[in-house]
Copies of this chain bind each other. A is one copy, B any other.
């Protein structure tokens, strides 16, 4: 199974195309300005300057987090996808300039990391646990893979390969090497992706080594900690040995891990790498571990596709522990979830994976950016009360409005690179079968065993549930189209040239085999009627509550469409949910209304024996991913009480 590569998928006008344009026309330029500290009111980035300083082009000091370089790398990667799509040519020159600066800053041995070079050159590669050097290299490697594919230029690729050579000479199981691996996983996934571009087996072996070694005893992080006398890169003081390495998913060898734990982004990047490297290297044991972890992950995922139940360590807790007020649900973590599910789908066609990928994408990832592309959520709360998010310290990590930039700005360019490359996630091919994982208007050429097969998809999905696929070329022999039937969909129909198609469904995919000729039309129809969603009783935070989903979109209540104190509202369980066309922040959407109730005080007491007064009130729901766009700061809730 292989994905249909990005160059063979061109988005057409639909629900996702405005987001692609947002990346290309707004986010790429805006983020360039932000990284150059030219956005008024945005927090300082300095990440471009860090590179210039390291290259000797400018005087100054390093500023920012020790992984500040990775922002530039992710931005370069996003830009590369736009270039590959034939867009953003004017940014190619800027990218080339940045790459030249990186080249100037790179040390003779291949090393490049502005934090270490500018603040602590003597500590180069001595603290993999904390210093994020391999993490930053991983992001640069992903950028290099994309940029090379897009432009054919090898300069960034060469920079990266030289650094990887240095790493490969220092770390590994060979004699004289340190048995190290990164504190923040990322390079493993990057090596897999780079391997797919270069076919250099050394890259795959190095990525697999990092996974194989991780969590083994004697523990590398402990040995490294002893060597550096406990010196922490974060506090610049000697610190105690960590109690365990759960935070970094290095508490156990990766194949022995069966619970989703620790820092959510680290976990997702690692699991994605396990699935990719497992597939590429034919190591079934890595894939088996992924399957086990996936089952636990589903029980630790919010209905919005958010993950990370606690801000402490931006981490998972345990199955069904999904509090609404104190959750983290970092945008980057859901991006990582898309990576993981996409990697799983390359091995096994299971709609459960595609459902989760779609859920994370359409709800939490899209929520991460404002409709004007210029502000971002790092944390994606399940409910906000502005005063509580300002004044209750358990909740201050979640903001009631998107920020222009973050001190830790991992999310904004991560959103850019995912949305710019969203075409990658739609289709894959196995022999003469084309799998359609996500529905987005697009023009595609799939390389089947029997030769290329061109087709076009037109749909307003998820605004409506009609998807039309038109064959743009003949196939030489029978071909199969396998369409995901979304898990949320109660009723789906498939017509081939106006007649009910012959369909067999396996693991949530509907298979239609036909000798397609140009002009053949497949019409799919998914029932998009809004539905009430209930959580498992184990999910305490949703006890007595419901939320509404329409297609893949989870809905929420906003104060500006309803009333202050959204907690006083409840949904009438028997109410009909009505649809009406609407728009939030300039994006078209379907607004939902349903009967419900508002509660008012019987008196002024804090506590009383008199039941609250209840009045009928229509509730207005909008897609979660659009909340907080425009209007005043207000409350938002996803799970609403049901009566």
Interface of A toward B, CB cutoff 8 Å = 298-299, 301, 303, 309-313, 317-318, 320-321, 323, 325-326, 385, 387-388, 391-394, 488, 490, 531-540, 543-544, 565, 567-568, 570, 573, 599-602, 604-612, 641
Contacts and interface: CB of A to CB of B under 8 A. Distances in A.
Contacts of A600: 537
A309 B599 CA distance: 24
B317 A392 contact: yes
Nearest to A393: B312
A394 B310 contact: yes
B309 A392 contact: yes
B607 A310 contact: no
Contacts of A309: 392
9 smallest A-B Cβ distances: which pairs? A312-B393, A540-B567, A543-B567, A537-B568, A544-B641, A326-B394, A317-B392, A537-B599, A531-B609
Contact of A318 (B391, B604, B610): B391
Nearest to A299: B606
28 contacts: A298-B606, A301-B606, A309-B392, A312-B394, A317-B388, A317-B391, A318-B388, A321-B388, A321-B392, A323-B392, A325-B325, A325-B326, A326-B326, A394-B394, A488-B609, A533-B607, A534-B610, A535-B607, A535-B608, A536-B604, A536-B608, A537-B567, A537-B599, A540-B567, A543-B599, A543-B641, A544-B544, A573-B611
Nearest to A392: B317
B387 A318 contact: yes
A382 to B, nearest CB: 13
Contact of A565 (B299, B540, B602, B641): B540
Given A318-B391, A607-B533, A565 B544 contact: no
Given A318-B387, A543-B568, A568-B543, A536 B605 contact: yes
A392 B573 CA distance: 32
A533 B132 CA distance: 53
B323 A540 contact: no
Contacts of A540: 385, 565, 567
A532 B609 contact: yes
A280 B533 CA distance: 61
A641 to B, nearest CB: 4
A188 to B, nearest CB: 27
A40 to B, nearest CB: 25
Nearest to A610: B534
A392 B310 contact: yes
Contacts of A312: 393-394
Nearest to A605: B536
Contacts of A602: 534
Nearest to A609: B531
A393 B247 CA distance: 13
Contact of A606 (B385, B392, B536, B604): B536
A535 B565 CA distance: 14
Nearest to A566: B540
A217 to B, nearest CB: 24
A386 B543 CA distance: 18
B544 A570 contact: yes
